[in-house]
Amino acid sequence: MTPPKDTAEKSARGNAKRGKPPTLTEDQIVDAALTIIRNEGLEALSMRRLSRELGRSAMAPYWYVSDKRELLDLVARKLMSKVELPDPDSGPWEDRLRQVVTGIDAMLHDHPGIATVMLERMLIVDRRLMNGIMDILQSAGFEGPEVFLSYATIHTYLFGRYQVVEIDTPDPSTVNPSELEDTLAKLVPHLKNLRGRDFFNFGIDTIIEGLKAQLANKRKKRRG
Q: Give pLDDT tens digits for 68-127.
A: 888 988 888 888 899 999 999 999 999 999 999 999 999 888 887 788 888 888 878 888
Q: Are 100 and 83 in contact (CB under 8 A)?
A: yes
How many percent of the chain have pLDDT more than 70? 82
CA end-to-end span of the chain, whole Å? Answer: 73
Other C-beta atoms lying within 10 Å of the C-beta of residue 130: 16
Other C-beta atoms lying within 10 Å of the C-beta of residue 34: 19
Mean pLDDT comparison of 44-53, 59-68, 136-145, 184-193, highest-scoring range = 136-145
Residue 2 in this model has a pLDDT that exceeds 60: no
**Domains of the chain by start residue, with CATH:** 12-66 (1.10.10.60), 84-167+175-223 (1.10.357.10)
Other C-beta atoms lying within 10 Å of the C-beta of residue 96: 22
How many percent of the chain have pLDDT more than 90? 39
Q: Are 36 and 53 in contact (CB under 8 A)?
A: yes
